[in-house]
Structure 1
Amino acid sequence: MIRRYPLLMFCLAMSCLSAQRALADDSTSSGDRRAAVHTQLAGEYLKRGQYNVAVQEVREALTTSPRYPAAFGMLGLIYAELRDDAQATANFKQALEYAPNDPDLNNNYGWYLCGHGKPKEGVQYYLNALKNPLYPTPDKTLLSAGQCAATAGDYDNAKDYFTRVMRYRPDSVDARFQLAELGLKTKDYVLTRQNYNEVQRMAQPSAQVTFLGLRLEHALGNKEAEARLSEILKRQYPDSIETTRLLSGQLD
């Protein structure tokens, strides 16, 4: 239902071209301001898969402002993409040494740790990000924290994080979907049914939603409903991952 990504610092408000013009037109800007633009450019090049250019832009940022935390955070993301764990870890830690309370840096390092077999540590960095009352996307971070906690087998906290998402986003289909999945893992089929029904009401039909319902009916032993959803999945979504899982018997 969701795909997890860190809060990448891409050129959101300005394109790469406008960022380059900003550098050319403002030769007297402060070191941090120029470092910020170079870091934004690095994020855009990272998004395009131009890793060498992205690293070069970060180096430019650190030339103008050697202790600029976001630049080290960006290097962490670049090296994470390149699967250089030593460099990724070192740069994330350096970024947090300079800005330990920065919510984006904490979020991104949490994302990295959760994806590299350290979910308990990752959750703590997600929670650090949430300590900032002005943090603009607490719902996304709580969702990621819930997934991370569930990976670690900490189902009680995972349920709490997913539930808290809906304080910020009552219409969050992703939080409902994750709660339904959590119910299947913990055999709390009331939790699954309640949230599956909400997902059906709120979301467009999809292979993921159909497969969720199919697995619920399978767990409950409702053969007729399971067979009906199985036929829908195979007929409407024959090339989906979910249909492949169904045909290979992966219903857990």
Structure 2
Amino acid sequence: MRVGEGVARGLLAVLVLLVLAGCSRLSFVRPDTSRGEYTRTAPEVQLRGDRKGALALQVALSEGQEALRAGDLDTAAKLARQALADNDGSPAAHTLAALVADRRGESRAAGAHYRRAVELAPTRAGMHNNYGTWLCGNGRERESLEWFETAAGVPGYGNAAGALANAGECAQRAGMQDEAARYLERALQRDPASPVALAAMAEREYRAGNHMRARAFVQRRLDAAPPEPATLLLASQIETALGDVRAAERYVRQLREEFPGSAPDSVMGKGD
């Protein structure tokens, strides 16, 4: 596993899907990070129409999310279709359909649903973040940046730091190093404990040969959120570069214990 690939997988942490239940709270779904999924969020959507139709949509979205969480993609796909049939104008229904398509490897369909969700909720920052995420994950890194910028610029958006961190990672992928640094610095100004931004900064400093700074960022990343395989791999490589073999081995052991099968046979010193 290359560090760049691993960090890209681990950076994009938590997917938020709106479930229209009760008072329309947001609930959280853990994405399959092995597919390199990004931080995504979905906004609240006002239910319109008769109560029976609204309830049907609510149930389809709630059960669809549960099926997605359980890995039952056939059921999730069926419920996404049902949600769209109940209300094709629901951004949340299109988001659910997009998530299912993403997990099934149907990238074009996922992108169409994410774009439709933006069109239906153009003032909702989360929808712009979602679509930017899809663009970046499908080789359109430069194009994704304006969508993350829009998301981050919406007043009161609770995940502005995540959108900026996503922009930093995507700019870095596109070879836009100066822009990436600016995005990541802005993300950390908004949220000094942003896992996405901290992991990306750790990788940047490691690749630049600034190993002490890389260590500081990766330690902050590990303090900010539960570890991911890419983070532990990077931490072991940073410690190897600093000559602390014991610390490097400790991270490798943690990687193998917490994520069996994630660690290559030899991970230390494999920075490229």
Q: Does the pair score TM above 0.5?
A: yes
Give the whole-Å Cα distance in 2 for the aligned partners of 1:207 and 1:57. 32
Distance 1:133 1:205 in 2: 31
Partners of 1:228 and 1:48 in 2: CA distance = 38
C-alpha RMSD of matched pairs (Å): 3.7
Please give the secondary structure, in 2, of the residue aligned with 1:117: coil
Deviation readout 1:71-117 (Å, 9 max, x if unpaired)? 12221111111111232222222222222332222222222222222
Q: Matched residue pairs, number? A: 236
- Name which of 94, 111, 133 aligns with 1:72: 94
Distance 1:174 1:92 in 2: 21
State the identity as a percent.
Answer: 26
The aligned runs of 1:1-252 (5 Å cut-off) are: 2-10=11-19, 28-29=50-51, 31=53, 34-172=56-194, 174-188=196-210, 191-192=213-214, 194-196=216-218, 198=220, 212=234, 215-216=237-238, 225-233=243-251, 241=262, 244-246=265-267, 249-252=269-272
Q: For residues 208 and 73 of structure 1, what CA distance do their matches in structure 2 show?
A: 27
Q: Which amino acid aligns with 1:246?
A: V
**Does the 8 Å CA contact 2:171/2:177 hold for their aligned counterparts?**
yes
Q: Give the superposition deviation at 1:201.
A: 7.4
Task: Work out the CA distance in 2 between the residues paired with 1:203 and 1:95.
Answer: 29
Long gaps (5+) in structure 2 = 1-9, 24-48
Q: Deviations over 1:121-144 (max 9, x none)?
A: 233322222232122222222222
Gaps of 5+ in 1: 15-26
> If the length of structure 2 is used for normalisation, what is the TM-score?
0.67
Name the CA shift for 1:33/1:156 in 2 (closer, same or farther; >3 Å). farther
Greater relative CO (CA pairs within 8 A, separation 6+): 2
Structure number with greater Rg is 1
Q: For residue 28 of structure 1, report the CA deviation from its aligned partner.
A: 4.8
Q: Secondary structure of 2:188's partner?
A: helix
Task: Tell me the CA shift for residue 29 of structure 1.
Answer: 0.9
